[in-house]
Homo-oligomer: A and B are copies of this chain.
Amino acid sequence: MPRSVAAHRGAVVELLTRQAARKGTEELPLLDAIGRALAADLRAPVSLPPFANSQMDGFAVFSADIPDGGAELRVGAPVPAGARPAALERGFAVPIMTGAMLPKGADAVVPIERAVPSVFPAAGAVDALVRLPATAPGTFVRDAGSDIAEGALALAAGTSLGPAQLGLLAALGLTSVEVRSPLRVLLVTTGDEVVEPGNPLVTGKIYDSNGTLLEASMRQAGLEVVRNGISDDDPAGLLDVLRKHTDNGSAVDLVVTTGGVSKGAYEVVRQAMAGEDVEFVPVAMQPGGPQGIGTFNDVPFLGFPGNPVSCLVSFEMFLRPALSEVLGAPRPRQMLPARLAEPLTSPKGKHQVRRGIIENGVVRLEGGAGSHLVHALARSNALIQVPADVTELQAGDEVEVWVL
């Protein structure tokens, strides 16, 4: 009985959880922390805004100074942004700029457009008057702490740090942030048929795209990637490579191989892992069904299948979501409902992952189900999820898509 997608993802989460717990944290300048996960809950060291300030260019007033019919007030010294203003005298209105600190005694701002005259007095003008309408207390005032109060939770541990989160940390006066240290992964592509790009292509061989595809995906997801070229179909050679990178204990946190996990006659990863704590399980998924999982030399081990699309789907369905869940980064893929532009069929009992292009809530297929179609994959921006119990869908049917 094949394992469900959810069960296998759970197994990958469990595998990574133990490893992640061993990893430490590091302090980085804000802009070096883009895409990283916050190490611990972070509480606001100051309130935002730090003080009550004006939301508009206008006049700061004490609202009780203006009766229902409006009033004429004397114009005091203006408050530019950044200044610490004197207290407001009763019966005065003071010109105030957006973001400037509200003077003590003021409790509202009347926008300049509602004043008569609707311009600020020239610098140096004396005894100027302004007519203002009545205004409720608090109008156009941004209260201190109204965005976040000092001591409140600003960002939770595990938050993925993008521009807005880093902007918040800067607004709180911080210049660096403690983030989780990245996992270091050894990525080994295998296969007698695979040639490193840039070399001549002998008949019967293909170029290795898995190395580039997965290293790029892993880097985007915040992993540090160690490569050791392509391993051929000799199990002893593969074992040498894996031992070299795992013997120091802490050298790598995770091993990912591609290829050699199905039931053919030459399955190098299966052969190399015989006797290791690694199992090869059929997952009820297409593509990417055969998966290896376990530990090698005390290091978590994942064996992805060898076709490029299977590799990408394995990464997106298992490793990437597990990283999001365990570490907090990368941010999970956006999952959304979309309408199919065309019908599709899917094998009974298998969760099918098709590639497609989503636009305005409608998704159309790119390429067939074949897991070798890397050009079709390169045109896609979404993975279409067809649950295991669905065998047929019509144009217009709703499906879940993951946006790449």
Q: Which residues of B contact A214 (CB under 8 A)?
A: 163
Inter-chain CA distance A337–B192, complex, in Å, is 47
Inter-chain CA distance A212–B204, complex, in Å, is 52
A67 at the B interface (CB under 8 A): no
Inter-chain CA distance A335–B167, complex, in Å, is 24
Inter-chain CA distance A194–B162, complex, in Å, is 22
Inter-chain CA distance A378–B217, complex, in Å, is 25
A121 CB to nearest chain B CB (Å): 10
Main secondary structure of the interface of A (DSSP, over half): loop
Q: Which residues of B contact A236 (CB under 8 A)?
A: none
A69 at the B interface (CB under 8 A): no
Question: Could you mark each residue 124-143 of chain A with 1 if its beta carbon is under 8 Å from any beta carbon of chain B, else 0?
Answer: 00000000000000000010
Q: Which residues of B contact A85 (CB under 8 A)?
A: 204
In chain A between 184 and 209, which residues have their CB closer than 8 angstroms to a CB of chain B?
A: 191-194, 197-199, 201-209
Interface-lining segment among A7-15, A44-52, A239-247, A321-329: A44-52
Interface-lining segment among A276-284, A366-374, A385-393: A366-374
Question: Could you mark each residue 164-187 of chain A with 1 if its beta carbon is under 8 Å from any beta carbon of chain B, else 0?
Answer: 111111111111000000000000
A125 CB to nearest chain B CB (Å): 12
In chain A between 202 and 252, which residues have their CB closer than 8 angstroms to a CB of chain B?
A: 202-217, 219-220, 233
Q: How many copies, total? A: 2
A54 CB to nearest chain B CB (Å): 10
Inter-chain CA distance A163–B213, complex, in Å, is 5
Contact A213:B164 (CB < 8 A) given known A198-B173, A360-B337: yes
Q: B334 contacts A376, CB within 8 Å?
A: no
By beta carbon, the residue of chain B nearest A400 is B360
A358 at the B interface (CB under 8 A): yes
Interface-lining segment among A258-266, A292-300, A342-350: A258-266
**A336 touches which one: B192, B264, B361 (CB < 8 A)?**
B361
A253 at the B interface (CB under 8 A): no
